[in-house]
Homo-oligomer: A and B are copies of this chain.
Amino acid sequence: MKRHQTTILDIAKELNISKSTVSRALTNHPNINPETKKKVLELAEKMDYQRNMLAISLITNKSYTIGVIVPEFISSYFPKVIVSAQIEASKAGYNIIISQSNESYETEVKNAKVMLANQVDGVLVSITKETRNYDHLKIFQRKGIPIVFFNRICEEMIVPKVIVDDYEGAFKLVEHLLQTGKKRIAHLAGPDSLSISKGRLNGYLDALKKHHIEIDEELIIPYDLSLRKVKIYVKHLLGLENPPDAIFAVNDPTAIEVVQTIKKIGLRIPEDIAIAGYSDDYASSLMEPKLTTVAQPVDEIGKIATQMLIDQINREVADWKATTKMLKTKLIIRSSTVKETTSNPE
């Protein structure tokens, strides 16, 4: 459908002035008569004038747009981070283009190109579980477009990152499980292409070591985050001759799936088997039993990542400090690991 634009030239003609003057009125330029300015602004309003950011961005080589690339949109984690990022970006006058990769490397690559083509001033990225090649992201670096990773970072790229202390979070969680008397703690470990998986796995391992629990490789299940497979793994674990008395899943959606499976089988949670997850999803506090998990400061993650990005954008030259900001997590103990939470007055 063809559409027509009101341009500054239309305003200029109507007022019998030059487009330069109109431009000055619209951009708060000092060299302009306040009366002329007033006239222009009024007419602009009346004519439904909207500045064409494409033209402006083309000239100024600045789009005031930030790209956000996230792997998925189904868990509550990324939407929450994005809301926070959007609020922060908005404060600095930036808009956000969001794209979700559907956990597909191909889609991520495509989305990155779109961001490039649309001249974003910077990108906030969390990679998919499939991403093992980073060329599509390194282009940003080569072109001098700032990039900040959060949550699912790319370790080999030396750029700013915002993460949480996954190691410590997992460590505390596993210690908690041990304190409740559990001895055989299984772990559904995420793909080792993701640093979060590694961090959580190492926290798990070290907590066991610290408490002199022998590590049983049988209890560590490599898992690619496909929820469909959870049921199989759980049944496999329960079928072992020496089955686990607790399962620590790499994230909450997985833990929720584990709980559903266990409930269907008929075991009691947490008496027969305790379950814990990671990230404190929206549903985790609502389900029965409520899920013990490690909460991440989602708002802060979105806020800080955006601040770091805008900071980079505003820098004259690229000084690759590339600080990695690591935030603390919080262990949230609920009824999936302890029989009755101390009565919960609220």
Contacts and interface: CB of A to CB of B under 8 A. Distances in A.
Is the contact region of chain A dominated by helix, strand, or loop, or is it mixed? mixed
Interface residues of A, number: 63
A97 B318 CA distance: 28
Contact of A119 (B52, B83, B146, B318): B52
Question: How many copies altogether?
Answer: 2
A144 B3 contact: yes
Contacts of A50: 113, 116-117, 139, 143
Given A79-B79, A144-B4, A63 B73 contact: no
A15 interface: no
Contacts of A98: 96-98
A54 B119 contact: yes
A53 B83 contact: no
A265 B79 CA distance: 32
Contacts of A254: none
A118 B57 CA distance: 10
Contact of A1 (B3, B63, B79, B312): B312
Nearest to A111: B95
B143 A4 contact: yes
B54 A118 contact: yes
A51 interface: yes
B286 A256 contact: yes
Contact of A96 (B5, B99, B117): B99
A96 B118 CA distance: 11
A10 to B, nearest CB: 13
A208 interface: no
A315 B1 contact: yes
Contacts of A58: 52, 54-55, 58
A4 B142 CA distance: 10
Interface string A241-273: 000000000000000100010001000000000
A42 interface: no
A95 to B, nearest CB: 5
A114 interface: yes
7 contacts: A1-B146, A48-B142, A50-B113, A52-B119, A53-B119, A97-B97, A97-B98
